[in-house]
């Protein structure tokens, strides 16, 4: 029948065909408009439910958060009952629940005039999702009883977030209203379309739609990357001229795109080369910065930390120990009769002795300990988490390690025995400030030097010259 009407439209000329085209266009437009209006109304209806449900939950969020904060479960249960009652009257609330910050159930309630609905409790995944976000979230689903339900969550915040409110709302009245409106729109659209179709009926497809759809398919193909796609030109009227013009534009676009891709390829290659150059420069700069940082923190001869960096670490350890309450130890030691090495063997041998002593200290102490060259032949060690008795034991082990190590010169020659003396002080037993702690350890070192050398002395008030 439709084919016969199309043939009749062709026979009767362009006016009839355009009339049929207008008819189908009206039907299409009215159908699209009706569908859009239906969807818009449905979206607006659901949005209104979401807005009102969020407002309801928001009004109870702060009281519920306060109840959770003060651990008042009785008030929380009261709020749950009030929320379910208020929601049931205006929004069709089926179930409300209060979750803690981990998504665990704290309290829940159903409207007193409704039976408990099977399948309306939110699944575990929704609990976790609701507890993990700071924004209200919604989810629609159909319960086991075939009831259309919307789940809504609202963070319960009072200063801090104390939990999440979750409620179920019955969407059946909303869906019923949407269906009624949809039916009314369908009736009105059908009547209007029937009036237009009665006047102007067939012919649109062959006269206008087919050429236009051909061009539309070609345009989509071009948009998808097929720049060689062309529309078929089968007529010599205005639409045929349009198709010819469209093909010409597509050809120009293809040529322009090819030129542009070539330019982009060249520019990309140039940019990649520049990026490689920049990467090399950045790498060299990073190496230079790291080298400067090492030079600023380490002693050039021994490779240990220098005095400035050690003082920074000492102040940091004091602050950390004050917060945690843990002790730490401090050792100051130097080489006994070091001047004799320089006088008898030369400064190169003296430097070799200091380098080997630094290595012995690193091997004898923990990796968490901080070892530095304090100046000349003096070395310091910071022992985190070590009390004064253990610090003295560590110092004595260090002295024994030095005593058992054979020291040699730059050419491997034996330089004789190397011995060290040292002073030990502990935080907070001996001092609570860095300068006092260093002074205490230094006085203990002085006492060790004065009373025979090759020994480690723990600071005590008896060593103070004032006493």
Residue 272 shares a structural domain with residue 412:
no
**More confident: 120 or 344:** 344
Q: CA-to-CA distance for 415 and 408, rounded, in angstroms?
A: 5
pLDDT at 390: 95
Is residue 394 pLDDT above 90, yes or no? yes
Residue 432's φ and ψ, nearest 5 degrees, are -120, 5
pLDDT at 11: 42
Region 441-465 average pLDDT: 89
For residue 225, give every residue at least 6 positions away whose Cβ sits within 8 Å of its Cβ, in sequence order, or none: none
Is residue 117 pLDDT above 80, yes or no? no
Residue 293 shares a structural domain with residue 311:
no
pLDDT tens, 120-139?
555 667 777 777 778 888 88
Residue 315 shares a structural domain with residue 428:
yes
Which range has the top average pLDDT, 25-39, 103-117, 357-371? 357-371
Task: Supply the residues annotated as catalytic.
Answer: 377
Q: pTM above the 0.85 mark?
A: no
Q: CA-to-CA distance for 399 and 420, rounded, in angstroms?
A: 6
10 class by beta-carbon count within 10 Å (0-12 exposed, 13-18 middle, 19+ buried): middle
In a domain, 6, yes or no: no
The count of residues in the chain is 467
pLDDT tens, 151-178?
888 888 877 888 888 888 777 777 787 7
Region 311-331 average pLDDT: 95
Contact 111, 93 (CB under 8 A): yes
Residue 48 shares a structural domain with residue 133:
yes
Residue 105 shares a structural domain with residue 37:
yes
Q: CA-to-CA distance for 294 and 306, rounded, in angstroms?
A: 10
pLDDT at 2: 47
Whichever domain contains 37, its CATH number is 3.30.450.20
Is residue 258 pLDDT above 90, yes or no? no
Range of the domain at 79: 28-176
Treating both helix axes as pointing N-terminal to C-terminal, what angle do 14-69 and 172-199 enclose, rounded to 10 degrees? 170
pLDDT at 442: 94
Count of domains forming the chain: 3
pLDDT at 205: 63
Region 362-376 average pLDDT: 94
């Amino acid at each position: 029948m439709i084919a016969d009407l199309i043939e009749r439209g062709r026979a009767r000329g362009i006016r009839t065909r355009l009339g049929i085209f207008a008819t189908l266009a009206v039907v299409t437009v009215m159908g699209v408009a009706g569908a859009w209006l239906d969807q818009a109304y449905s979206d607006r209806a659901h949005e209104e439910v979401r807005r009102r449900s969020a407002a309801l939950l928001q009004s109870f969020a702060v009281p519920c958060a306060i109840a959770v904060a003060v651990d008042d479960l009785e008030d929380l249960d009261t709020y749950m009952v009030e929320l379910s009652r208020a929601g049931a009257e205006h929004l069709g609330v089926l179930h409300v629940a209060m979750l803690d910050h981990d998504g665990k159930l704290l309290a829940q309630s159903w409207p007193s005039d409704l039976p408990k609905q099977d399948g309306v409790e939110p699944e575990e995944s929704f609990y976790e999702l609701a507890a993990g976000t700071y924004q209200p979230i919604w989810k629609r689903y159909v319960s086991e009883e075939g009831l259309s339900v919307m789940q809504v969550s609202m963070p319960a915040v009072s200063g801090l977030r104390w939990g999440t409110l979750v409620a179920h709302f019955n969407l059946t009245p909303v869906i019923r209203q949407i269906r009624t409106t949809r039916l009314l729109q369908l009736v009105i659209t059908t009547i209007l379309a029937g009036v237009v179709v009665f006047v102007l009926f067939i012919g649109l497809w062959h006269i206008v739609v087919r050429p236009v759809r051909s061009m539309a398919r070609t345009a989509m193909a071009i948009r998808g990357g097929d720049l060689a796609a062309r529309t078929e030109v089968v007529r010599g009227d205005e639409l045929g001229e349009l198709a010819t013009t469209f093909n010409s534009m597509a050809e120009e676009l293809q040529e322009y795109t090819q030129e542009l891709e070539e330019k982009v390829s060249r520019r990309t290659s140039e940019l990649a080369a520049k990026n490689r150059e920049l990467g090399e420069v950045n790498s060299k700069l990073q190496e230079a910065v790291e080298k400067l940082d090492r030079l600023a923190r380490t002693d050039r001869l021994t490779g240990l930390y220098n005095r400035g960096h050690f003082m920074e670490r000492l102040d940091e350890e004091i602050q950390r120990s004050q917060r945690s309450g843990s002790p730490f130890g401090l050792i100051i030691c130097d080489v006994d009769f070091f001047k004799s090495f320089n006088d008898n063997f030369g400064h190169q041998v003296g430097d070799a002795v200091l380098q080997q002593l630094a290595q012995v200290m690193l091997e004898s102490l923990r990796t968490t300990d901080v070892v530095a060259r304090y100046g000349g032949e003096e070395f310091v060690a910071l022992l985190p988490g070590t009390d004064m008795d253990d610090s003295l034991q560590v110092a004595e082990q260090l002295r024994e390690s030095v005593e058992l190590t054979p020291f040699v010169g730059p050419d491997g020659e034996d330089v004789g025995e190397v011995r060290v003396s040292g002073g030990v002080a502990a935080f907070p037993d001996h001092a609570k400030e860095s300068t006092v702690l260093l002074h205490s350890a230094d006085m203990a070192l002085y006492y060790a030097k004065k009373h025979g050398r090759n020994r480690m002395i723990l600071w005590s008030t008896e060593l103070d010259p004032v006493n």
